[in-house]
Amino acid sequence: MKRRSFLKTVAATAPLAMMSAPVVLSAKEAPKSPNAMDLKTALKTITGGKAVKDSDKIKLTVPEIAENGAVVPVKVNVDHPMEANNYVKAIHVFATQNANVRCADVHLTPMNGKGYFATRVKLAKSQNVMALVELSDGTFMKAEKPVKVTIGGCG
Amino acid sequence: MGKALVKIKPKKYKVGDIVKVDFIAIHPMETGLRKDKKTGKIIPAKYINDVKFYYNDKLFTSMDIWESTSTNPYLSVNLKITEPGKVKVTFKDNTGEAGEKSKKIKPKV
């Protein structure tokens, strides 16, 4: 019963969250947020300036059109082993044009079994979502996909 | 802190299977960029920023979460089942509030 009432709460508050947007301003419009960081800086911070190539080993799933910019599902699947000495070490998700592009930095281990992460993010406006993947050997790869937002985070 | 839920999918699994571990928390994930319409004041940032997943007390995933993650954050990763026991997820937000939620792991074989 507890579980059902919990899920009911989540379902009930979701529309409230939608109605109470705007939740995120784009990089140009936002007042200075303490965490404000653009994509270039975020990438440099994480990769230390290393080259990052696009890779089709990263399956990034996002909706082409998001009705509601406050809740956009993002799924990342990395086609790469998860063995003790060779595994997906981290998946970073970026909303490339939000005031703070960072959504999540997920540090994985071989215990995960698969290089997978899913979440829901806020997009201030139509933009690319990026998944930056770090492998245990220190190399990076990325994938990007555009999402059109009809009712923006500023709706 | 707010309620949280840990779900294992599928419900039936054996040792050797890779399952999905879904974590959902009730949390406003305030960005600190919104104004209260009545007072005109900025609603301070309040968001879950640290989530850790443990399998029988071994840390298998840790996450730094930022305010661009949606309200009532949904976070999902995989876990390879090796033994019975439990998955525990601990979470903290930027104001220092913390919580945790566990789910038993009961493989069929």
Residues comprising chain B, all counted: 109
Residues of A in contact with B47 (CB under 8 A): none
When scoring B21, B27, B71 by the number of chain A Cβ atoms within 10 A, the one with the most, hence best to mutate, is: B71
When scoring A8, A62, A106, A133 by the number of chain B Cβ atoms within 10 A, the one with the most, hence best to mutate, is: A106
- Tell me if A37 sits within 8 A of A120, measured CB to CB: no
pLDDT single digits (tens) A40-50:
999 999 999 99
- A14 membership: H or E segment, kind and range: helix A2-19
* pLDDT for residue B36: 85
Q: Are A117 and B75 within 8 A, CB to CB?
A: yes
> How far is the C-alpha of B96 from the C-alpha of A44, rounded, in Å?
28
Residue A9 clears pLDDT 70, i.e. is over it: no
Pairing, β A53-54 against β A140-151: parallel
Cβ-proximal residues to A73 (8 Å cutoff; 6+ apart), any chain: A61, A62, A63, A118, A119, A120
The DSSP secondary structure of B33-79, one letter per residue, reads --B-TTT-PBPPPB-EEEEEEEETTEEEEEEEE-TTBPSS-EEEEEE
pLDDT single digits (tens) B12-64:
999 999 999 999 999 999 988 888 888 988 889 999 999 999 999 999 999 99
CATH match for A2-151 among 3.30.300.30, 3.90.1150.10, 2.60.40.2470, 3.40.50.300: 2.60.40.2470
> How far is the C-alpha of B79 from the C-alpha of B70, rounded, in Å?
23
Q: Which residues 81-110 on chain A approach chain B with CB closer than 8 angstroms?
A: 82, 95, 98-109
Residue B96 Ramachandran class (φ > 0 left, ψ -120 to 50 alpha, else beta): left
Residue A22 clears pLDDT 50, i.e. is over it: no
Full set of structural domains in chain B with CATH: 4-105 (2.60.40.10)
Q: Are A118 and B45 within 8 A, CB to CB?
A: no
- Residue A6's pLDDT band, with cuts at 50, 70 and 90, is confident
Comparison of pLDDT for A20 and A99, the residue scoring more = A99
Q: Are A33 and B45 within 8 A, CB to CB?
A: yes
Q: Hey, is A78 helix, strand or coil?
A: strand
Q: Which of A34, A82, A104 sits opposite B63 (nearest CB)?
A: A104
Tell me the domain boundaries of chain A: 2-151
Judge whether A122 is closer than 8 Å to chain B, CB to CB. Answer: yes
Residue closest to A151 by CA, chosen among A113, A127, A125, A122? A125
Q: Are A3 and B55 within 8 A, CB to CB?
A: no
